[in-house]
Amino acid sequence: MVYGHSDRADGKPRRRAASTKIVISGGFGAGKTTFVGSVSEIMPLRTEALVTNVSEGVDILDGTPDKRTTTVAMDFGRITLDEDLVLYLFGTPGQRRFWFMWDDLVRGAIGAIVLVDIRRLQDSFAAVDFFEARNLPFIVAVNEFDDAPRHPTQAVRKALALPDHIPVITVDARDRNSAKAALIAITEYSLSSLTALPG
């Protein structure tokens, strides 16, 4: 992606903007669609379908009785972090029957955010295992739902059996500034992980 050929208002030449891909993942109902929607500077692309009786016995909906829609392909958004850095956001579907799409969605990504609902921590194990198996840098972001208990990030790290180098943060997926801070955290962590690689 390239900015226009004209100079900026301050007289400095415009720089080529780097674009990169970040994946927003996590269990069903963890807040992925909300996260992408709150931070995207464009109207986010959503591929949602109504949760119907057909889901009974297929999807585990006990922890999210009020959820009426589910992502069936992906969420897509975009945010400009700096004049020369654009992030493209891809939210994964959370339900197990759509996990076959994850490999395609993460192709070309520099990192991922695993959103966690502390009330259903077990739903996060699959996402953590997925990114660990593919050696893709990721951070864990505990989505602070209003009625969810609060636990120290170190306790969350221990419960998920995460190594010390993987960042664990808290986030309010509804809040643009909070979601943006999480994106900055994964971008910095991904870049530091890449520069630490041999060669």
**In this predicted model, what pLDDT tens digit does every residue of 47-77 receive, in sequence order?**
544 444 544 545 455 554 554 554 445 788 9
Calculate the alpha carbon distances from 177 to 35, 173, 188 in Å.
11, 9, 16
Chain centroid offset of residue 58 CA: 24
Q: What is the pTM of this model?
A: 0.79
Amino acid letter, residue 35: F
Task: Write down the domain spans for the chain.
Answer: 18-195
Tell me which fold the domain 18-195 belongs to.
Answer: Rossmann fold (3.40.50)
What six digits make up the tokens of 69?
């829609």
Question: Taking the alpha carbons of 106, 109, 111, 114 in that order, is the dihedral positive or negative?
Answer: negative
**Range of lowest pLDDT (84-88, 99-103, 106-110, 116-120):** 99-103
